[in-house]
Amino acid sequence: MKKTMLLSAAVATSLVANSVAKQAEEAGLKPIPNSQKELMKLIDNPQNPITDAKVELGKKLYFDPRLSKSGFISCNSCHNLSEGGDDGLEAAVGHKWTVNPHHLNSPTVYNSVFNSIQFWDGRSPHLEDQAQGPMQAAPEMAATKEHVAAVVSSMPAYVDAFKKIYGNDVKITLAKVADTIAVFERTLVTPSRYDDFLNGDSKALTAAEQEGLKTFIQVGCATCHTGVALGGDLNVFNVVNKYKYNDVGDFKGDANGMVRVPTLRNIDQTGPYFHNGMIKTLSEAIKEMGRVQLGADLSSKQVQEIETFLKALDGRKPDITMPILPASTDKTPLPDIN
């Protein structure tokens, strides 16, 4: 009798989980595939295919501060892979300790490959294009195209690596460097227990996390935070009410007032929140997003349920070994902190 009761309870639990997973699918939520073949279909760029050699070279360039004018700032400075893939600051800090003039928060690089567009205003179509921006932006790495090309071309180890990957006649340019960094960034995906759940493991999420997922869907969060990224597309901001920190910084979205919806993956590790980093806690971010976008005064219970689910989005990060960079030569441009 006891065994029958336990079996019945397990069946009931499985049925509930299947129901929640079905609701998620109907809401447009999609998992990171557990098949490497299927994952590659999502993250690879046929015009810039992923190879092991490109990933390794891209990783070195990602961590190399000499690409910046000062020789001090690397991609990893603002997109720190040892934590949430961002910098933990309200607004990005770059060359000469310059705070982003628009008071924009650094988005996470983890899972950025799943975004349909890049940057807060969506002005960049893909990672290869996006990677060119920060290197040249005066408040960020403040380099020129010529500086980046000269730095990389000055080191035989880099030159040899580019030739092996792209051919002996390769011309090292900022665009080619950005392409290579983007390949590395395309591999920075973090599947989580949430993905395991949507991929069929009914026990991957606790009952409380499943309840949070249901609340997340029912109140309307999945309207914008959808797809594999749980975000990543452009959407209208300040839909129902005005964001309480809307006047911090001058960013108002693209020409149509559209803002890229941030991914919710690893959201527990990527505060502070919103485009200007003015919301410090995840619970406050949930409450404010409900008010601004949904016109909903979410209860403490709803906020807690959603937060419990969102914490289940903390993913398994790729194992990244700090690269050993090639030595500078007498041809390598000297750091310029001015």
Domains of the chain as residue ranges with CATH: 23-39+190-311 (1.10.760.10), 43-186 (1.10.760.10)
- Give the model's pLDDT for residue 303: 98
CB half-sphere exposure, 65, CA atoms < 13 A: 13
> Is 78 known as a binding-site position?
yes
- Give the model's pLDDT for residue 18: 87
Predicted confidence (pLDDT) per residue in 27-56, tens digit: 999 999 999 999 999 999 999 999 999 999
Q: Is the pLDDT of residue 220 over 60?
A: yes
d(CA 61, CA 87): 18
Predicted confidence (pLDDT) per residue in 111-130, tens digit: 999 999 999 999 999 999 99
- Residue 292 is classified by DSSP as I
- Cβ neighbours of residue 250 closer than 8 Å, sequence gap 6 or more: 102, 103
pLDDT > 70 fraction of the chain, expressed in percent and rounded: 96
Predicted confidence (pLDDT) per residue in 131-185, tens digit: 999 999 999 999 999 999 999 999 999 999 999 999 999 999 999 999 999 999 9
Q: Is the pLDDT of residue 11 over 80?
A: no
Alpha carbon separation from 31 to 228, 232, 288 (Å, rounded): 5, 14, 26
Q: Is the pLDDT of residue 5 over 60?
A: no
**Residue 177 is encoded by which pair of tokens?**
């460097």
- Give the model's pLDDT for residue 126: 97
> Is 224 known as a binding-site position?
yes
Predicted confidence (pLDDT) per residue in 81-106, tens digit: 999 999 999 999 999 999 999 999 99
Torsion of CA 72, 136, 257, 220, to 10 degrees: -50
Pairing mode of beta strands 258-260, 234-236: antiparallel
Average pLDDT, the chain: 96
pTM above 0.75, yes or no: yes
Q: Is the pLDDT of residue 6 over 70?
A: no
- Residue 5 is classified by DSSP as H
140 is catalytic: yes
- Give the model's pLDDT for residue 22: 96
> 161-188 burial string, b = 16+ CB within 10 Å, else e?
bbeebbeeeeebbbbbbbbbbbbbbbbb
> Is 75 known as a binding-site position?
yes
- Give the model's pLDDT for residue 2: 62
Q: Tell me the pLDDT band of 1, cut-offs 50, 70 and 90.
A: low
> Is 225 known as a binding-site position?
yes
Q: Is the pLDDT of residue 58 over 60?
A: yes
> Is 289 known as a binding-site position?
yes
d(CA 187, CA 202): 27
- Give the model's pLDDT for residue 4: 61
Contact 279, 272 (CB under 8 A): yes
Q: Is the pLDDT of residue 9 over 50?
A: no
Looking at residue 304, its amino acid is: Q
- Give the model's pLDDT for residue 16: 77
Predicted confidence (pLDDT) per residue in 257-313, tens digit: 999 999 999 999 999 999 999 999 999 999 999 999 999 999 999 999 999 999 999
d(CA 147, CA 129): 18
Catalytic, out of 128, 140, 209, 307: 140
Q: Tell me the pLDDT band of 59, cut-offs 50, 70 and 90.
A: very high
**Residue 39 is encoded by which pair of tokens?**
């994952």
Alpha carbon separation from 160 to 53, 68, 329 (Å, rounded): 12, 22, 15
> Is 258 known as a binding-site position?
no
**Residue 151 is encoded by which pair of tokens?**
């730095």
